[in-house]
């Protein structure tokens, strides 16, 4: 009777393998989520408070208007685009 091959032992071993995969999968998903939340929070913080992340006061949310950059210059009046 030293042989561990009964239904209960096999069932417990199968449940243990299932639980291991289940817990490991959840750790993977939670770890991924926390990593993405951290990166997003850092990015939002750098945009909102650039002086805390090594940028100057004007380093956050930079952009250039079409007039300054020379791109997206309208070729015709805007109101004419909506007329038939």
The whole-model pTM stands at 0.44
pLDDT of residue 1: 47
Distance, CA of 78 to chain centre: 37
Q: SS3 of 65, please? A: coil
Q: What is the pLDDT of residues 39-69, one digit of tens each?
A: 999 888 888 887 887 765 555 455 656 566 6
Residue ranges of the alpha helices (H) in 1-84?
7-48, 66-69
């Amino acid at each position: 009777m030293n042989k561990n091959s009964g239904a209960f032992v096999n069932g417990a071993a199968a449940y243990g393998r299932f639980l291991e995969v289940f817990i490991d999968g959840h750790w993977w998903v939670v770890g991924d989520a926390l990593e993405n939340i951290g990166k997003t929070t850092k990015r939002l913080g750098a945009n909102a408070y650039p002086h805390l992340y090594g940028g100057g006061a004007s380093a956050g949310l930079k952009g250039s208007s079409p007039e300054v950059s020379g791109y997206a210059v309208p070729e015709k009046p805007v109101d004419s685009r909506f007329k038939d």
